[in-house]
Structure 1
Amino acid sequence: MPSLNDATGRRVFFGGDYNPEQWPEETWHEDVRLMKQAGVNSVTLGVFSWARIEPRPGAREFGWLDRLTDLMHGNGIGVVLATPTASPPPWMGSRHPETLPRGEDGSVIWYGSRQHFCPSSPVYREYAAAITEDLAARYGDHPALRMWHINNEYCTFCYCEETARHFRRWLRAKYPSLDALNDAWGTAFWSQRYGDWEEIIPPRRAQYLRNPACTLDFRRFTSDALLECYVAERDIVSARTPRLPVTTNFMAFWTGQDAWRWAEEEDVVSVDSYPDPRDPLGGQYGAMIQDMTRSQARGPWMLMEQAAGPVNFRGVNHPKPRGLNRLWSMQAVARGADAVCYFQWRQSRQGAEKFHSAMVTHAGEQGRTYQEIKQIGADLSGIGEHVAGAGVSADVAILHDWNSWWAGDQEGRLSRELDHPAVVRAWHRALWEAGLATDFAHPEHDLGAYRLVVVPHLYLLTDTAVDNLVGYVRGGGTLVSGFLTGAADGDNRIRPGGMDERLRELFGIATVHEWWPLEAGETVDCDGPEPFEGTVWSEELQASTADTVAVYSSGELAGLPAVLRRGSAWYVSTLPGPAPLRDLLARVADDAGVRPVLADRPAGLEAVRRGDLLFLLNHAPGPVTVTVPGHHRDLLTGEMTDGPVRLGRHGVAVLKEERP
């Protein structure tokens, strides 16, 4: 399988989406000058160029792209060539309205934006394959070509008749019979039993709550239908250029794709990440997305998009303070990225994203943003040969599964305040603040390499996943699970006793009598070695063989267990506040033999090891000083350090140990 390292050698990709069709051709030469000045070594071309390449059905206008690709090659800038299939031209929607997606209520999602295609449409797929074939034939041997980028941010949902037919084919492949489907979906409830496959439709808008098992399968189907589109285009370009890696870009923690499944089909896993610069924990959010993407890639990965400054999709879009762009870019490299790229190179003067920042903003060459881009380019050029291809090792894994997220997000759930991504982020934050290197893993993955596995919240667990967790603990691993885990099986069927019996035995729980979700802002007091407040959730548990570590001390559950431990298996039936959760996981990790990357760190100082380099990243509001044992050279400044390292606001150091 081709890799990103095959394309980069011992350097880090640096660049971004380049959309020169928005500008007069004379601007291209100015762009190249600025790119070279900034150390840009890669640009992504063609992401939204379908109408420019194919202005009429079957027509091809490649001349401009030929000149552009030659220009990049002549100036030593590599090309990541995109298939433009994320944004079909207006003529397709006009001539073939059947390619347009439909919403849950049957309304047409019209062209005039992007992602306006039904992934099940044979007409859309035929046109997408044709333009992909022609791009591969024309540019497959071009010396500038480094990678293929398929489509862009796959995110379309469709409920049309073509989708319904496709959904039924998908279901017939999954279930051996209609009886098996009726059993899996629990259609005995509300007289929903199907007597013919043709009766099945997508979960469109209904009078009241829709069948949650049908909705879950439709989420699985939609992810797979989009994946079919990706694989079809990937196979076309791979057949023409088997030596080149292929990717498509995930959106950060996006609900619509089972990224574990998708990552298996990619040569390079890439992601778009846009933390809020006003969020004091924006660095932690970025770290979570980076850890998740690295884990999906099982090695180096690609930051395909980030913002050099403000975005345009928040209520109020703030620029990044001085140094923050550099800090977050270097954080991505620290956590395994071999590519640091942006949307986009030059800020648009027209269109929906003209207020979305770019590497070259409306302020131009003299603008602060471009000057900072030059600094980042110089930094990456200086460390690339030391870091590209190197791994990040972790003794801790967070378990996450899109199927569980989808199932728990059903309409008739116990609490709208239970936000799955927020719970996962809370547990990752606790580990991040404890300074512990963390991977993500699927609950059915081999977990034997980890000393500690944490499960923030997995409402749905398959039998295979449950056996995997039990086997992990019996094999000597330490497991800490959050609330409402293992309540449902793979068909979203509630397990007897409120939790799978194998997990109840593992955690020493007799039964879960009731789930007690908390209102927004409501807390419950808990007494243990250190008193704490629980949020979001609580549970009425009866212990069997477990030791009670903490009890509820207020409300209806006063005196009942809140945190249980049986050997190396822990169960936390509420969501402790940030500090108590951090302290709990740090204590359990220490008992499991897991140590922070750097033991003594000031608050806000992130320390990450990648290969033989130590990255120090200052997320604190002001300067910090940290003592690093040994003799090191800072690859960013060339200076030697022996002990204390001072970092200014948003400061970064990349230390390589050297003999004195």
Structure 2
Amino acid sequence: MRPTLAAAGRGRILFGGDYNPEQWPEETWQDDVRLMKDARVNSVTLGVFSWSKLEPEPGAREFGWLDRLMDLMHEGGIGVVLATPTASPPPWMGRLHPDTLPRDADGRTEVWGGRQHFSHSSATYRRYAAAITEDLAARYGTHPALTMWHINNEYCTFDYGDEAAAAFRRWLREKYRTLDALNSAWGTAFWSQGYDTWDGILPPRHAHYLKNPAQVLDFRRFTSDMLLECFTAERDIVRRHTPHTPVTSNFMPLWIGQDAWRWAEQEDVVSVDLYPDPRDPLGGQRGALVQDLTRSQARGPWMLMEQAAGPVNWRGVNHPKSRGLNRLWSLQAVARGADAVCYFQWRQSRQGAEKFHSGMVSHAGEHGRTYQEVRQLGHELARIGSSVTGSQIVSDVAILHDWHSWWAGAHEGRLSAEVDLPEVLTAWHRALWEAHLATDFAHPEHDLSGYRLVVVPQLYLLTDAAVDNLLRYVHGGGTLVCGFLTGVADEDDRVRPGGMDARLRELFGIRTLHEWWPLEAGETVECEGFRGTLWSEEIEAEPGVARTVPYRGGELDGLPAVLHNGRAWYVSTLPEPEALRELLASVAEGAGVRPVLAGLPDGVEAVRRGELLFLLNHGREPVTVEVPGDHRELLGGEKVTGSLTLGRYGVAVLRS
């Protein structure tokens, strides 16, 4: 049995963040421990970017400073998530071993001076990474402060260099076996691209015109696999030394470069970094989407590895968080399944590229607002931890998402550059979020039988197994709602006859899909009862499919915008937000799905986790919420009967 997040938390919500004490004189360390204990910090991550400190020259080891820190944390009752430092190789590695440096699609070498400057395919890099990981695991595997391993950091390197090219060819040979199979899968009969030797195949580097989309799709698959190989190599080393200590590596939210479904299967703890824009009025919903996706990948409790206590440093304008917003979004993560709430970073840096990225202790110090809000949150998390950790969220709705479909649909020669899958996904999740319906995410080949409603915002690429799975779900009594541009291509990005898989056309009652009609930015199309955005389609319905919503006016006048055939719905445009919410709420009600709590004011989110009901006010004005029955509010300890008032960005955690 794999170790879990519960093994690290021991009945507590893990609270803390990245700690980079090597940036500070040692006399600061004792003060850090004092402030951590005062804020109820019980976990820090050490060593994420410490490779040059640990190995200042090839083969050297400088562990004394880390020894003292591990001991200091243990004496202070603070657990350590110990990182392998392999996300940022020392300058000597790139200087002595240029083969470890990645190249971009234009052939430019990425050199040291930043971070993530490593070729995932370089045998030299992998050898050095394994060696430092081996020595860390051997030295600290039995240290009482160690609670978890954190491998690398935000794997996000694309490499088009010679090392990657050789590895890409090996990957392709293993997948296709023969050049005939590769040429068929890539459609190389187009533009005279047929390959007569494996050595002629390169990564999709800079080209005169459009690149082969099937080649680009496979290169994305290859990149995800190579990075995963780097992760599992280091994971296996630390597991050998500490088989009962959980291992993680942090995802970036909804990032295009990793097949996160496959990655999550290789982690003991699924963790994510989450930085919604504090000026975004839908920041809470965007956070909820990532939280739902991460919880679904984890199939249970997950770890918020990084968030900001205040502003970040990488937006065009970096705004702080308003009073209460940090608390609101942190407790939202707990409501949606997080058993760990952590930050980048503990103490705000005074030098380096991220000196204006906030820390739990900001430049204002312990008397500043940031630390005082962090301290309050730490005490509240300690108060509710034993009541919430390990508990689950039950959802009757699943949203389907697949990275391979995203990769294929994002190619250069698509019908509309305005169609951005994350924004389409966000629009559909927002509709369900505003309808107060609890949602999971699932892969299109996952078992869907436990859900009353499955929604597909967009899955341009669907394997035969995925199509069969959707048909099996509907024929088994489930309700399915699909958005536009779904089921267009197979796994090789080959357009299916008729422009949509024939089995799906039959399921939705589509006789013929004549033309796709993408819309310009800001353009809308009139439909009966609502307006559509972004996309429209010229569809002919099968005779007898009478339950349709037609387009009104223009080229598509009278043709179906929405088809409803039994338990299957097809939406050929993107309805404006209110219309999409009403549509999905109506379909959900017909499928027997009920809101978490009825009659909620606008901007109030309700999430039920285990025995607890979380109420979160995403507005700046107080609101009154009706909550039938008697409850105990755990954050403040008050008794609640019938209703309660949530202040600006207010949160209540209720137990009946």
Letter matched to residue 570 of structure 2: Y
- Alpha-carbon RMSD: 0.6
Letter matched to residue 545 of structure 2: A
Letter matched to residue 540 of structure 2: Q
Tell me the residue number matched to 1:477.
478
Q: CA deviation at 1:110?
A: 1.2
Tell me the residue number matched to 1:644.
643
Distance, in Å, in 1 between the alignment partners of 2:548 and 2:19 is 56
Tell me the residue number matched to 2:539.
541
Q: CA deviation at 1:97?
A: 1.1
Distance, in Å, in 2 between the alignment partners of 1:7 and 1:324 is 27
Alignment pair present for 1:401 and 2:402: yes
Check whether the contact 1:499–1:511 (CA below 8 A) recurs between aligned residues. no
Tell me the residue number matched to 1:346.
347
Provide, for residues 186-235 of structure 1, a one-character-per-residue CA deviation record: whole Å limited to 9, x for no partner.
00000000111111110000010010000000000000000000000000
Distance, in Å, in 2 between the alignment partners of 1:42 and 1:520 is 46
Letter matched to residue 271 of structure 2: S
Distance, in Å, in 2 between the alignment partners of 1:652 and 1:183 is 56
Tell me the residue number matched to 2:457.
456
Letter matched to residue 190 of structure 1: W
Letter matched to residue 11 of structure 2: R
Tell me the residue number matched to 1:242.
243
Structure 2: gaps of 5 or more residues: none
Q: CA deviation at 1:600?
A: 1.1
Provide, for residues 75-124 of structure 1, a one-character-per-residue CA deviation record: whole Å limited to 9, x for no partner.
10000000000000000011111110001011111110000000000000
Structure 1: gaps of 5 or more residues: none
Tell me the residue number matched to 1:161.
162
Identity of aligned residues (%): 74
Mean alpha-carbon deviation: is it higher for 24-33 or for 541-550? 541-550
SS at match of 1:547: coil
Distance, in Å, in 2 between the alignment partners of 1:7 and 1:306 is 20
Tell me the residue number matched to 1:523.
524
Letter matched to residue 539 of structure 2: L
Tell me the residue number matched to 1:47.
48
Distance, in Å, in 2 between the alignment partners of 1:247 and 1:511 is 47
Distance, in Å, in 1 between the alignment partners of 2:258 and 2:199 is 26
Please give the residue correspondences for 1:431-470 in structure 2 after superposition, counting only pairs within 5 Å.
Answer: 431-470=432-471
Provide, for residues 326-349 of structure 1, a one-character-per-residue CA deviation record: whole Å limited to 9, x for no partner.
000000000000000000000000
Tell me the residue number matched to 2:564.
565
Q: CA deviation at 1:460?
A: 0.4
Letter matched to residue 418 of structure 2: E
Check whether the contact 1:209–1:412 (CA below 8 A) recurs between aligned residues. yes
Distance, in Å, in 2 between the alignment partners of 1:107 and 1:153 is 22
Mean alpha-carbon deviation: is it higher for 482-491 or for 554-563? 554-563
Distance, in Å, in 2 between the alignment partners of 1:295 and 1:625 is 31
Distance, in Å, in 2 between the alignment partners of 1:634 and 1:95 is 60
Letter matched to residue 127 of structure 2: E
Q: CA deviation at 1:511?
A: 1.6
Distance, in Å, in 1 between the alignment partners of 2:449 and 2:547 is 27
Please give the residue correspondences for 1:233-312 in structure 2 after superposition, counting only pairs within 5 Å.
Answer: 233-312=234-313
Please give the residue correspondences for 1:188-227 in structure 2 after superposition, counting only pairs within 5 Å.
Answer: 188-227=189-228
Tell me the residue number matched to 2:388.
387
Letter matched to residue 470 of structure 2: L
Tell me the residue number matched to 1:624.
623
Tell me the residue number matched to 1:62.
63
TM-score, reference length from structure 1? 0.99
Provide, for residues 420-478 of structure 1, a one-character-per-residue CA deviation record: whole Å limited to 9, x for no partner.
00000000000000000000000000000000000001100000000000100000000
Letter matched to residue 448 of structure 1: S
Q: CA deviation at 1:351?
A: 0.2
Distance, in Å, in 1 between the alignment partners of 2:60 and 2:227 is 26
Distance, in Å, in 1 between the alignment partners of 2:565 and 2:257 is 36
SS at match of 1:505: helix
SS at match of 2:555: helix
SS at match of 1:626: strand
Tell me the residue number matched to 2:375.
374
Q: CA deviation at 1:356?
A: 0.3
Q: CA deviation at 1:492?
A: 0.2
TM-score, reference length from structure 2? 0.99
SS at match of 1:643: strand
Tell me the residue number matched to 2:554.
555
1:532 alignment partner, one of 530, 534, 539: 530
Provide, for residues 238-265 of structure 1, a one-character-per-residue CA deviation record: whole Å limited to 9, x for no partner.
0000000000000000000000000000
Q: CA deviation at 1:159?
A: 0.4
Distance, in Å, in 1 between the alignment partners of 2:103 and 2:372 is 45
Provide, for residues 149-191 of structure 1, a one-character-per-residue CA deviation record: whole Å limited to 9, x for no partner.
0000000000011101100111111113111111010000000
Alignment pair present for 1:34 and 2:32: no
Letter matched to residue 534 of structure 2: V
Letter matched to residue 585 of structure 2: A
Distance, in Å, in 2 between the alignment partners of 1:222 and 1:411 is 19
Distance, in Å, in 1 between the alignment partners of 2:503 and 2:274 is 38
Provide, for residues 586-625 of structure 1, a one-character-per-residue CA deviation record: whole Å limited to 9, x for no partner.
0000000000000110000000000000000000231111
Distance, in Å, in 2 between the alignment partners of 1:425 and 1:9 is 34
Letter matched to residue 169 of structure 2: R
Distance, in Å, in 2 between the alignment partners of 1:157 and 1:548 is 47
Please give the residue correspondences for 1:297-336 in structure 2 after superposition, counting only pairs within 5 Å.
Answer: 297-336=298-337
Distance, in Å, in 2 between the alignment partners of 1:603 and 1:621 is 12
Check whether the contact 1:548–1:561 (CA below 8 A) recurs between aligned residues. no
Mean alpha-carbon deviation: is it higher for 646-655 or for 5-14? 5-14
Provide, for residues 46-75 of structure 1, a one-character-per-residue CA deviation record: whole Å limited to 9, x for no partner.
000000000000000000000000000001
Q: CA deviation at 1:547?
A: 3.0
Letter matched to residue 565 of structure 1: H
Tell me the residue number matched to 2:73.
72
Tell me the residue number matched to 1:608.
607
SS at match of 1:254: coil
Letter matched to residue 250 of structure 2: N
SS at match of 2:147: strand
Tell me the residue number matched to 1:417.
418
Distance, in Å, in 2 between the alignment partners of 1:482 and 1:4 is 36
Mean alpha-carbon deviation: is it higher for 223-232 or for 167-176? 167-176
SS at match of 2:535: coil
Distance, in Å, in 2 between the alignment partners of 1:261 and 1:94 is 34
Distance, in Å, in 1 between the alignment partners of 2:393 and 2:358 is 31
Q: CA deviation at 1:546?
A: 2.7
Distance, in Å, in 2 between the alignment partners of 1:589 and 1:72 is 50
Distance, in Å, in 2 between the alignment partners of 1:329 and 1:608 is 14
Deviation beyond 3 Å, 4+ runs, structure 1: none
SS at match of 1:432: helix
Letter matched to residue 239 of structure 1: R
Tell me the residue number matched to 1:21.
22
Mean alpha-carbon deviation: is it higher for 135-144 or for 546-555? 546-555
SS at match of 2:262: helix
Letter matched to residue 442 of structure 1: H
Mean alpha-carbon deviation: is it higher for 262-271 or for 545-554? 545-554
Provide, for residues 463-497 of structure 1, a one-character-per-residue CA deviation record: whole Å limited to 9, x for no partner.
00000001000000000000000000010000111
Distance, in Å, in 2 between the alignment partners of 1:264 and 1:124 is 25
Alignment pair present for 1:126 and 2:117: no
Letter matched to residue 630 of structure 2: H
Distance, in Å, in 1 between the alignment partners of 2:292 and 2:230 is 27
Check whether the contact 1:290–1:335 (CA below 8 A) recurs between aligned residues. yes
Distance, in Å, in 2 between the alignment partners of 1:280 and 1:606 is 14
Distance, in Å, in 2 between the alignment partners of 1:221 and 1:577 is 37
Tell me the residue number matched to 1:103.
104
SS at match of 2:628: strand
Distance, in Å, in 2 between the alignment partners of 1:291 and 1:549 is 31
Q: CA deviation at 1:548?
A: 3.8
Distance, in Å, in 2 between the alignment partners of 1:549 and 1:16 is 52
Tell me the residue number matched to 1:11.
12
Provide, for residues 275-294 of structure 1, a one-character-per-residue CA deviation record: whole Å limited to 9, x for no partner.
00000000000000000000
